[in-house]
Amino acid sequence: MRVLVLGLLLFFGIHSVGIVAPLWRERCVLRIGTLTWRALYSLASLAGLALIILGFARARLSPLVLYTPPAALHTVARVLMVPVLPLLLAAYLPGRIQSAARHPMLVAIKLWALAHLLANGTAADVLLFGGFLAWAVLDRISLKRRPVRAVSGAPLKPWNDLVAVVLGLALYALLIGGLHLRLFGVSPLA
């Protein structure tokens, strides 16, 4: 469990610099350059993600069950997951979805985390998904006080929303159809 916690701290730590120290972040970018900042940010993020994956896998070997969700919540979780991938794609495909959701990636993370918390009740699940949910909520709140930074993505096109929805739903169908089981060892239909 320590590896999972360490991974979460590293991953959320680097992703929270803009939340807790935006001026420090800007000074660092000016001092070391955008490319170097992005490289260091990416390395720290990947290291955190690797530790999260390793720690979560280890924690699943001897799970500490905190609660057992009723079967109906698995259905609720599957329904909550339907818009997640279209919202995630809409974050990089400017259109009406991006405008309406304002921060579609954060909405996607919150729905993903909540869905997984409803369907899973081990300590590792609560740490992982609860951590992502708490971080996404805090990040969304902090965005109201921070200057808007441009997110690189596709150019604004009239069909971006359609691409986000169709491709997102196709990816969701793949996950439900067996990819989630192959990647993570758990079937969302079980």
DSSP string, 80-107: HHTTHHHHHHHTTS-SHHHHHHSSHHHH
Q: Which stretches of the chain score pLDDT less than 50? A: none
The tokens describing 172, both together, are: 């969701």
DSSP helix/strand/coil, 190? coil
Residue 148 is predicted with a pLDDT of: 65
Residues 6+ apart with CB under 8 A from 82: 169, 172
Provide the angle, in degrees to the nearest 10, between the axes of the packed helices 2-15 and 34-61. Answer: 150
pLDDT at position 151 is 58
Residue of 151, 157, 82, 161 lying closest to 115 (CA atoms): 82
Cα dist from 72 to 12, 75, 114, 143, 189, whole Å: 31, 5, 15, 34, 12
Give the pLDDT of residue 155. 75
Sequence spans of domains, the chain: 1-62, 65-190
d(CA 95, CA 119): 32
Look up the pTM and report it: 0.90
**Coil vs helix vs strand at 16:** coil
Q: How far apart are the first and last CA of the chain?
A: 25
